[in-house]
């Protein structure tokens, strides 16, 4: 017999034997799975961010397939369109919960917060926070080491080199909440994205009394209650020298923003006023 034939016989037999074993094993250990799970999983972004509260996209798909109502099942990464499609697959109405987005309760940029020390260590807010107060006197504000940036699976957060603060991209942020969990100072909040992406919030977390807070940061909320008094919708509360705007009550009138003496209330998503546009143009011109 020629070596070629021997080779063919040996390899062929091995291959057939392998195929038989694989087939037997696959049959024996076949897991019966709802075919809809695979369909749903295909629609999901596959980032396994955990923003839905499940341990990953597959788990979420299983939960959707087994659910009797989609009210508590929302994939923050997928958007309403995908959720409607998933609803079609499982024959349920998608949840009507409002879209969320992460906002930062700190405006302690380098200009607003005097720098009091240089941190020289591992780039991690958690490590820095355990070590000491951070590069400013504020014990509540952003530590600026970018744990939130590292935690974001959507590339929605980056550090602004000018302010030293994280910037959240409204287009990319899915409201999964990974950054809120990882921030050691707990200054990132998931808020309603707001109509047309418009929202107003207090960009400060400092609970010190007014004078001290102001010493620590020029843009601190001093708890003066001016915003609470002027709010026509009763959306603002002041607790522990810190103001908070309830996004479910806020009607986006921005009166509080105008009255805030330290400018700690900021907004997002509104079209620029003429004045702001002029200011922006002026800075652009200067930069040139």
Partner 1 sequence: MAQLLTVSASPHIHTKRTVAGCMRHVTIALLPAAACALYFFGIGALIVIATSIAACAATEYIINRWMLRRPSTLADGSAILTGLLLAFNLPSNLPVWAVIIGSVVAIGIGKMAFGGLGCNIWNPALVGRVFLLISFPVQMTSWPLPLVNRSEYFDAVTGATTLGILKLGEADSASIDILASATGAIGGSLGEVSAIALLIGFIYLLCMKVITWHIPVSILGTVALFTLCIGGNLAVELLSGGLMLGACFMATDYVTSPMSKKGMLIFGVMIGLITVIIRRWGAYPEGVSFAILLMNGFVPLIDRYIKPRKFGERRSKS
Partner 2 sequence: MSHTFHKGGVHPPENKITASCHIIEVELPREVVVTFSQHIGAMAVCCRSKGEHVKRGDLIAKASGFVSANVHTPISGTVTRLDKWKTAFGYAADTVTIVADDEDHAGDMASIAGRETLRTAKEVASLSDKDIVEIIDNAGIVGLGGAAFPTKVKLSPPSGMNADMLLINGVECEPYLTNDHALMLAAPQKILDGIKLLMKAAGTDRAVIGIERNKDDAIKLFEKLTTGDPSISVAALDVKYPQGSEKQLIKAVTGREVPSGALPIAAGVIVHNVATAYAVYEAVYLGKPLIERIITVTGPSVKRPGNYNVPIGMNIADLVDIAGGVPADTGKIILGGPMMGRAVVSLDAPTIKGVSGILMLPYDKSHRDAVQPCIRCAACVDACPMGLEPYRLATLSRHKMWDEAEDDKIINCIECGCCSYSCPSSRPILDYIRLGKTTVGSIIRDRQSKK
Minimum gap (Å) between residue 77 Cβ and partner 2? 20
The token pair that represents 96 in the structure block: 């009507």
When the beta carbons of 99 and 126 are compared against partner 2, the nearer one is 126
Contact flag: residue 139 with partner 2 (CB under 8 A):
yes
When the beta carbons of 103 and 205 are compared against partner 2, the nearer one is 205
Output the CA torsion 243→247→251→257 (10° steps). 30
Number of residues that bind partner 1 (CB under 8 A): 11
When the beta carbons of 101 and 142 are compared against partner 1, the nearer one is 142
Q: Is 183 annotated as a binding residue?
A: yes
Q: Quick check: helix, strand or coil at residue 20? A: helix
Cα 158 from chain centroid (whole Å): 12
Q: Which of 32, 130, 273, 286 binds partner 2 (CB under 8 A)?
A: 130
The token pair that represents 273 in the structure block: 């006023």
Contact window for partner 1 (CB under 8 A) among 99-107, 113-121, 188-196, 250-258: 113-121
Phi–psi pair at 238, nearest 5 degrees: -120, 120
Do the beta carbons of residue 103 and residue 168 sit within 8 Å? yes
Q: Which of 6, 131, 172, 280 binds partner 1 (CB under 8 A)?
A: 131
Do the beta carbons of residue 215 and residue 174 sit within 8 Å? no
Cα 255 from chain centroid (whole Å): 27
Phi–psi pair at 160, nearest 5 degrees: -85, 115
Contact flag: residue 131 with partner 2 (CB under 8 A):
yes
Contact flag: residue 118 with partner 1 (CB under 8 A):
yes
Q: Which of 120, 274, 285, 286 binds partner 1 (CB under 8 A)?
A: 120
When the beta carbons of 75 and 143 are compared against partner 2, the nearer one is 143
Q: What is the torsional sign of CA 79, 96, 203, 184?
A: negative
Residues of the binding site for [4Fe-4S] cluster:
49, 52, 57, 75, 138, 142, 148, 152, 173, 176, 179, 183
> Which chain residues interact with partner 1 by CB under 8 A?
115-122, 127, 131-132
């Amino acid at each position: 017999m020629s070596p070629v034939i021997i080779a063919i016989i040996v390899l062929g037999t091995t291959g057939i034997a392998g195929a038989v074993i694989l087939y037997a094993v696959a049959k024996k250990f076949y897991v019966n799975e709802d075919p809809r799970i695979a369909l749903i999983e295909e629609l999901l972004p596959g980032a396994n961010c955990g923003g839905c509260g499940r341990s990953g996209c597959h788990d979420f798909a299983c939960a959707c397939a087994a659910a009797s109502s989609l009210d508590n099942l929302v994939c923050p990464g997928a958007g309403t369109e995908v959720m409607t499609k998933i609803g079609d697959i499982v024959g349920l109405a998608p949840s009507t919960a409002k879209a969320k987005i992460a906002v930062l309760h700190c405006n302690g940029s380098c200009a607003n917060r005097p720098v009091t020390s240089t941190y020289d260590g591992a780039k991690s807010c958690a490590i820095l926070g355990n070590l000491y107060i951070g590069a400013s006197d504020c014990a509540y504000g952003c530590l600026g080491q970018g744990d939130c940036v590292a935690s974001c699976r959507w590339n929605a957060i980056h550090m602004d080199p000018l302010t030293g603060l994280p910037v959240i991209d409204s287009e990319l942020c899915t409201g999964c909440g990974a950054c809120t969990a990882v921030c050691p100072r707990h200054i990132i909040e998931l808020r309603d994205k707001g109509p047309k992406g418009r929202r107003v919030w207090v960009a400060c977390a400092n609970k010190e009394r007014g004078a001290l807070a102001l010493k620590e940061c020029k843009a601190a909320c001093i708890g003066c209650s001016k915003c609470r008094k002027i709010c026509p919708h009763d959306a603002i509360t002041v607790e522990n020298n810190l103001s908070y705007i309830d996004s479910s009550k806020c009607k986006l009138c921005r009166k509080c923003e105008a009255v805030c003496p330290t400018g700690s209330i900021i907004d997002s998503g509104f079209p620029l006023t003429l004045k702001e546009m002029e200011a922006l143009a002026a800075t652009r011109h200067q930069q040139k």
